[in-house]
Copies of this chain bind each other. A is one copy, B any other.
């Protein structure tokens, strides 16, 4: 078995004819080896003696490789001409005087680089080693055997990268602090990160910086090319010139004129583009085509017609193609170009029923059509079958960070892997395989999501598919990779949980648009659940931190502690703020204590950012600066920290009696009190209820609970209430065999007495007394709620069928039809899921489908679900509410994007007893999370996450 030992004599081959970037990367890997082994590899000179050698190079750029190929140790033909592949092979005695060698042979520059970094990874070095000071475990005697030999595959997606955007204040401050600006030194860090993550493509920062001017000069662009980073510019920056460049160069006397208008200043603008192409033509680029107005506006003014815009845009692209032919390559098909269908450009591409858009326009042939997401992680249009053979293919501009509508999310990255997995895997299936670029804002704290995005793009066979639980595997792997060097497995398992928990919180609601009114403070205990998760994160992360060595704090804080605790603390703050306001509104004296806790969270937010920006000698200084609390506009203008509500206690002791999940309360006072009836113990599986005795005053009161029902058991029947006491009423369901009704009273001694009626049913009683209820959900409190994954029956068809996604979404699971591309809306045969539920009476019910907020894959306001009730006729329902306006930017889009749920409400007629509901496959890209029915006239308590699942027989 061939092997290589990374001992103190190991050497690396450096060749003058190699790509300089490759040698630079080899230097990084050399450092990596040192970090692991403590040995710095030597430089091998041909013919010298060497026990362990690392031979690296690129096909046709390395004498060693040619030699090894010739002598049969490797076969360069296996990779030659391929895109970014490499041979990774361990051999014994490959050369005279060399005992063991690791051969890394790239098909091209990046193939070699990926091969080199593959070595680092194999040794346990994280791709984030220099970005987060994520240090590997020190190991002596590292040996690799030929079991690791491989020839890498070509990446699934050709161009894979990210967009540094929304870069002020965070990225800008960080770069200025550490590099004196957003310059080549700064980008060198970025390029390394990108390549280590197996990316190859970058949209540089462009808010107030110019990639090809600030390096200084072209230095950043030159360096990118050296490293093999393919540069591009963002969606509205054509011809390799950043958006701000024109602002710097324009003027009355400028050769470029003084008007960003292709109509008024065609010559100036054309010259501007030409000079950009001339400047950057020698580097590897993907050239952005088209034109938008300044600052993300449309090319012509808002009152211009569709056709005008399209014609002008065609003219622009034609002009740009001519320039490219003239300057870059006569054979334009060889020049990577992209056209980004962002916002209004989408309409110009698709056109409408009267005006043909740019689709199929000859000028776009060979141009990659860059689609985009909803700004919030859901892809918009995807290529239908007819479109898929477009020459140039498709790209996707995706967001993990957003500065814009419907809301900005720019602070801590919190990409929830299952959503990205589901959307990007689907996009790939739809043929989006040429370019994947993700907006990562300031990069920092996006490492987890970005790693997955680039790994998925690199190897969709491995990380894609139709089983969402692969994301768990990925997360485990990622945690092992980053934290393997710094903590034992028991701790890493805690980290895994924290990663899921904090990104799960953000999947429910992002930081910036969180506020005290999102989760209902009491209903269904949803706020308490969020609070429990948040407090658990804070507690566990703090406990972990105590065990971390000083040197590892940088990675620990930047990759886990700060993002997770920052998120958890913010969620906690808002939950408490909502609770404070709610309690204050009921004059619960506890409100004042909660106000103090809110303040603690506000201080904690600042402390967490300070800690993040101070750790590792200020390594991340600048990155914590984004506003992230209480947005009321799409951006941070006029944002609001929580308001604390302080109350005065009543002048007499004041009892409030309330179920812990109910906003209604009783005072027990004489004239205006409303006695309550509690029905939740009619549910067969519920035999207790918790309620609170609350004080509305600073003066304590004595309470006394009395009943003459033997089946009611209270954990306490008397005591003193200073702030709040929680009482559990248990019902002994063995004492009755039919539905029972009883009463108890809670007395605030000397002040009043509240009266509660309790209904309870035995454990086994069925709602309608119906037979064949197995697998059916039980109605109680006026509703029936079913998780989509809990269907009673599943029917697939040849063309596709449902699969459960788990983990997924706001509630942990969902169902979706695979293959993702399958469209059943006009089919006769459709897969379906059948749900069964027991209704308590005949009559109308409001049926709500909660779906992921996906958007139509077609450029039409059409996105259908289908269902039928009790085998009645199928109802096909367009989930787009208002078809008179484009879905994108519509109020529905905004609401769904913020709440991360699409709710479709229907009215159905049920009968007492068991009913069936079939949910059919229909349009693609629909993901059902849960369903609930509410009896007409019943009021479902207001909540963000909806009711909990009902009891199931």
Taking Cβ atoms with an 8 Å cutoff, the residues of A that contact B are: 584-585, 587, 595, 602, 627, 633-635, 637-648, 650-651, 654, 667, 669-673, 696
Evaluate whether A635 and B672 lie within 8 angstroms (CB atoms) in the complex, with A648-B641, A651-B627 already known.
yes
10 A–B pairs (Cβ distance < 8 Å), ordered by A: A587-B641, A602-B648, A637-B670, A638-B667, A638-B672, A638-B696, A640-B647, A641-B647, A643-B646, A646-B646
Evaluate whether A671 and B635 lie within 8 angstroms (CB atoms) in the complex, with A644-B645, A645-B644 already known.
yes
State how many angstroms separate the Cβ of A326 from the closest Cβ of chain B.
39
B639 touches A669 (CB 8 A): no
CB-based closest 5 A-B pairs: A641-B648, A633-B672, A637-B669, A644-B646, A637-B672
* Extra A-B contacts (14), CB below 8 Å, given A633-B671, A637-B672, A641-B647: A585-B643, A587-B640, A595-B646, A633-B672, A634-B672, A637-B669, A637-B671, A638-B654, A638-B669, A638-B672, A641-B650, A643-B647, A644-B645, A644-B647
What separation, in Å, do the CA atoms of A638 and B595 have in the docked complex?
Answer: 21
Residues in chain B near residue A644, CB distance under 8 A: 645-647
Report the nearest B residue to A652, measured CB to CB: B627
Residues in chain B near residue A641, CB distance under 8 A: 587, 647-648, 650
Residues in chain B near residue A651, CB distance under 8 A: 627
What separation, in Å, do the CA atoms of A696 and B650 have in the docked complex?
Answer: 32
What separation, in Å, do the CA atoms of A585 and B640 have in the docked complex?
Answer: 9
By CB atoms of chain B within 10 A, which of A595, A643, A645 has the most? A643
Residues in chain B near residue A654, CB distance under 8 A: 638
What separation, in Å, do the CA atoms of A323 and B491 have in the docked complex?
Answer: 93
What separation, in Å, do the CA atoms of A602 and B649 have in the docked complex?
Answer: 12
What separation, in Å, do the CA atoms of A640 and B667 have in the docked complex?
Answer: 13
State how many angstroms separate the Cβ of A786 from the closest Cβ of chain B.
39
Residues in chain B near residue A627, CB distance under 8 A: 651
Report the nearest B residue to A602, measured CB to CB: B648
What separation, in Å, do the CA atoms of A459 and B412 have in the docked complex?
Answer: 80
State how many angstroms separate the Cβ of A708 from the closest Cβ of chain B.
24
What separation, in Å, do the CA atoms of A635 and B752 have in the docked complex?
Answer: 15
Residues in chain B near residue A643, CB distance under 8 A: 584-585, 645-647
What separation, in Å, do the CA atoms of A669 and B641 have in the docked complex?
Answer: 18
Report the nearest B residue to A592, measured CB to CB: B644
State how many angstroms separate the Cβ of A473 from the closest Cβ of chain B.
41
What separation, in Å, do the CA atoms of A131 and B296 have in the docked complex?
Answer: 79
State how many angstroms separate the Cβ of A895 from the closest Cβ of chain B.
19
What separation, in Å, do the CA atoms of A633 and B671 have in the docked complex?
Answer: 9
State how many angstroms separate the Cβ of A808 from the closest Cβ of chain B.
34
Residues in chain B near residue A672, CB distance under 8 A: 633-635, 637-638
Report the nearest B residue to A644, measured CB to CB: B646
What separation, in Å, do the CA atoms of A637 and B627 have in the docked complex?
Answer: 43
State how many angstroms separate the Cβ of A70 from the closest Cβ of chain B.
64
What separation, in Å, do the CA atoms of A434 and B722 have in the docked complex?
Answer: 55
What separation, in Å, do the CA atoms of A76 and B41 have in the docked complex?
Answer: 136
What separation, in Å, do the CA atoms of A44 and B637 have in the docked complex?
Answer: 90
Residues in chain B near residue A637, CB distance under 8 A: 667, 669-673
Report the nearest B residue to A625, measured CB to CB: B651
Residues in chain B near residue A587, CB distance under 8 A: 638, 640-641
By CB atoms of chain B within 10 A, which of A627, A647, A648 has the most? A648
What separation, in Å, do the CA atoms of A45 and B732 have in the docked complex?
Answer: 90
Residues in chain B near residue A645, CB distance under 8 A: 643-646
A650 touches B639 (CB 8 A): yes
State how many angstroms separate the Cβ of A604 from the closest Cβ of chain B.
13
Residues in chain B near residue A635, CB distance under 8 A: 671-672
What separation, in Å, do the CA atoms of A723 and B590 have in the docked complex?
Answer: 31
Residues in chain B near residue A634, CB distance under 8 A: 671-672
Residues in chain B near residue A584, CB distance under 8 A: 643
Residues in chain B near residue A642, CB distance under 8 A: 648
Residues in chain B near residue A696, CB distance under 8 A: 638
What separation, in Å, do the CA atoms of A418 and B822 have in the docked complex?
Answer: 80
What separation, in Å, do the CA atoms of A646 and B642 have in the docked complex?
Answer: 9
State how many angstroms separate the Cβ of A667 from the closest Cβ of chain B.
5
What separation, in Å, do the CA atoms of A670 and B647 have in the docked complex?
Answer: 37
What separation, in Å, do the CA atoms of A602 and B651 have in the docked complex?
Answer: 12
Residues in chain B near residue A638, CB distance under 8 A: 587, 654, 667, 669, 672, 696
State how many angstroms separate the Cβ of A328 from the closest Cβ of chain B.
37
State how many angstroms separate the Cβ of A890 from the closest Cβ of chain B.
19
Residues in chain B near residue A669, CB distance under 8 A: 637-638
Residues in chain B near residue A639, CB distance under 8 A: 650
State how many angstroms separate the Cβ of A135 from the closest Cβ of chain B.
34
State how many angstroms separate the Cβ of A410 from the closest Cβ of chain B.
14
What separation, in Å, do the CA atoms of A635 and B650 have in the docked complex?
Answer: 14
Report the nearest B residue to A634, measured CB to CB: B672
State how many angstroms separate the Cβ of A701 from the closest Cβ of chain B.
14
What separation, in Å, do the CA atoms of A944 and B14 have in the docked complex?
Answer: 85
What separation, in Å, do the CA atoms of A639 and B643 have in the docked complex?
Answer: 22
Residues in chain B near residue A647, CB distance under 8 A: 640-641, 643-644
Residues in chain B near residue A646, CB distance under 8 A: 595, 643-646
State how many angstroms separate the Cβ of A785 from the closest Cβ of chain B.
33
Residues in chain B near residue A595, CB distance under 8 A: 646
What separation, in Å, do the CA atoms of A672 and B633 have in the docked complex?
Answer: 7
State how many angstroms separate the Cβ of A244 from the closest Cβ of chain B.
16
What separation, in Å, do the CA atoms of A671 and B643 have in the docked complex?
Answer: 25
Report the nearest B residue to A606, measured CB to CB: B651
What separation, in Å, do the CA atoms of A654 and B632 have in the docked complex?
Answer: 15
State how many angstroms separate the Cβ of A645 from the closest Cβ of chain B.
5
By CB atoms of chain B within 10 A, which of A602, A639, A646 has the most? A646
Report the nearest B residue to A645, measured CB to CB: B643
